[in-house]
Structure 1
């Protein structure tokens, strides 16, 4: 049976050519790879999960204080059963919170990247939540350097395209499923919008990726590994050399359905003004240019948020 590989990113410094080749091969095949050896302390991950769980345990009326109507959920709280996967009839069985990048309020991106809100009821939420945001942001930049080398770009090609990226940390709570025949799933089959997604410490099984052959392949990470997958913006930029793969979170069977599930994806986005135009190095006679019209990252994001009913 096929398996999404786990690769140790420390090899980027000790065995670079082989690591880049293996990483590139994993992404070309699956659009997914598990990254170990990333150096993010377990205490930092566990501490972030603790404050996120404490927030989701608050009474509904307290959580809803942090729901910002009309914002598309860009910051703060999004209640249960709001987001709906593209082309799905049923809303996802989840509630979530959004942490964005802290930028100066006189930044040219201030109008599209609002200030964060922080729940005062949970001590340490800001410190632990933003700490894991920054750690995943830095790890994502390292992964992108390896991905750049694999497609013959300069190592630091992406650095100045993500340094003010509209990236989002999204702690998610999937509550216990009480009824047996619910038509909704925890997260419907979808692709991510952004450059890459880093998923840290999923607390239970359920994540599945659609293979090229049309089979659903479960992904379970080993040890400290973080699941990292390609999003649609990078797929577009690389002319599908790096595919953005359909994935879902299934409902567990039996007793597992009565347990909550938590996960914390980090959606690494480019800077809002980055133009997504197919890279010349990714156009070949066998893979002609698929996207004749360039689009900015922000315009593309707005298109997609409308599709999934967040704006």
Structure 2
């Protein structure tokens, strides 16, 4: 029996202000790293993404998913792994889950210039003809997430004893993805949940839209589920498997899910916008020496490129067929 948002205990994840980073970079890095080490999650306010841009993005997202099903499916690329454009309802499945997720989504990636060296592994974006202004809005939002992500990675590097710019070359032209998510209303007899228990693939995820109840993380200390409830406008940020692997589990990637709402909210849609921050495809995920010692031997002695790791994981969740 799945916990509901009403029964899951509220997680004691601290809310940090990214504005503190400039005033006290070491203090902010320690607070962010401490929250990640305990929960794999942090809540970040004052993240610098303009509220007017966020409001515009929500309007465009709702308008996009309100389009007729046939029109949306015209932007789906069969065999494309959901890399860009539309992925229909009930397509993605969490690893080892019995039922597909109750969601549909749209992916926006990095805009690359013609002839870019990653053009063969990073698909071009697919842009709908409506809603009008969609492309401009999400190019702007992608860039704003990118800037916030760079600042957070700088703090993570500092927490790990690395230079504050250590991640800069790793994520330059990175294969990050902005996902627009729509969880439609839930019928009483629905099988499965909005998003089954899973871990993210990437370095870190920056999420807007978690104010609507449903997001829960698995507490490694107790084995129970904890609900995440950020203040209005704050981001939820979590560690992905690539960063977990890079740090030899010093920063853990925590299992999380989106549960179905209580009966009084089942008639409502839920929207969210996660930004999956990825390194460049040729970045070698190789355990950081500072995260290995006699008590913590290297769990991953064989390095792997970010591109190959991503492909392995997309097969697992059903977006890429072997």
TM-score scaled to structure 2, two decimals? 0.95
Q: Is the 8 A contact 2:210 2:228 kept in 1?
A: no
Helix, strand or coil: the match of 1:205?
Answer: coil
Where do 1:50-61 residues align within 5 Å? 50-61=59-70
SS at match of 1:12: helix
Question: TM-score w.r.t. structure 1 length?
Answer: 0.98
1:261 deviation in Å? Answer: 0.3
- Partner Cα distance (1:245, 1:96) in 2: 22
Q: What is the aligned partner in structure 1 of residue 196 from structure 2?
A: 188
Q: Work out which of the residue numbers 33, 42, 49 in structure 1 matches 2:42.
A: 33
How far does the alpha carbon of each residue in 1:36-85 deviate from its partner, in whole angstroms, 9 at most, with x for none?
Answer: 11121111101011111101000000000100111011010000000000
Structure 1 unaligned residues grouped into runs of 5+:
none
Q: Secondary structure at the match of 1:99?
A: strand
Counterpart residue number, 2:309: 300
RMSD of equivalent CA atoms:
1.0
Match of 1:225 in 2: 234
Runs of 4+ in 1 over 6 A off after TM superposition: none
Contact preservation (8 Å) 2:101, 2:194: yes
Could you list the per-position Cα deviations for residues 270-292 of structure 1 after superposition, in whole angstroms to 9, with x for gaps in the alignment? 00000001000110122110001
Q: Could you tell me whether the CA contact under 8 Å between 2:218 and 2:226 is conserved in 1? A: yes
Partner of 1:152: 161
How far apart are the structure 2 equivalents of 1:120 and 1:37? 33
Mapped partners of 2:138, 2:95: distance in 1: 28
Question: Which residue of structure 2 aligns with residue 208 of structure 1?
Answer: 216
- Segments of 5+ residues of structure 2 without an aligned counterpart are 1-9
Within the candidate set 179, 183, 188, 1:170 is matched to: 179
Q: Tell me the residue number matched to 2:293.
A: 284
Is the contact between residue 207 and residue 275 of structure 2 (CA under 8 Å) also seen in structure 1? yes
Indicate the residue corresponding to 2:5 in structure 1. Answer: none
Displacement after TM superposition at 1:203 (Å): 5.3
SS in 2 for 1:171: strand
Partner of 1:106: 115
